Amino acid sequence: MKNGITTMCGWPGAAKTTLLNGPLGEGSVVICPDEFRLELTGKTFYPPAEELVWASLKLAARVLAKRYPVIIDGTHLSVANREQWVVIAQQIGVPIDCFWIATSYETCLKRNALRENPVPEVAMQRMHDSFAPPGYIEGFREIRVQYENDDKIHVLPNVIKNVKLNPDKLDRELG
Q: Which of 50, 59, 40, 45 is nearest to 12 (CA)?
A: 45
Residues 6+ apart with CB under 8 A from 76: 7, 8, 9, 82, 85, 98, 134
CA distance 36 to 76: 16
Q: What b/e string do you get for 104-130 counting C-beta neighbours within 10 Å, with b at 16 or more? A: eeeebbebbeeeeeebeeeebeebeee
Q: Which of 138, 175, 132 is nearest to 160 (CA)?
A: 138
Which CATH number does the domain housing residue 14 bear? 3.40.50.300
Looking at residue 170, what is its pLDDT? 47
Counted domains in the chain: 1
Kindly list the strands in the beta sheet with 96-102, ordered across the sheet, starting from the edge strand earlier in the chain: 29-31, 69-72, 4-9, 96-102, 142-147, 154-155
Looking at residue 45, what is its pLDDT? 83
Return the half-sphere exposure (C-beta side, CA atoms, 13 A cut-off) of residue 57. 23
Looking at residue 161, what is its pLDDT? 59
Looking at residue 112, what is its pLDDT? 95
Looking at residue 93, what is its pLDDT? 96
pTM to 2 decimal places: 0.86
Looking at residue 166, what is its pLDDT? 57
Residue-wise pLDDT for 94-138, tens only, equals: 999 999 999 999 999 999 999 988 999 999 999 999 999 999 999
CA distance 73 to 60: 13
End-to-end C-alpha distance for the chain, whole angstroms: 31
Per-residue pLDDT of the chain (175 residues; tens, 9 = 90+): 689 999 999 999 999 999 999 988 999 999 999 899 999 999 988 899 999 999 999 999 999 999 999 999 999 999 999 999 999 999 999 999 999 999 999 999 999 999 988 999 999 999 999 999 999 999 999 999 999 999 899 999 987 655 555 555 544 444 4
Query: Residue 45's domain spans which residues?
Result: 4-174
Looking at residue 44, what is its pLDDT? 83
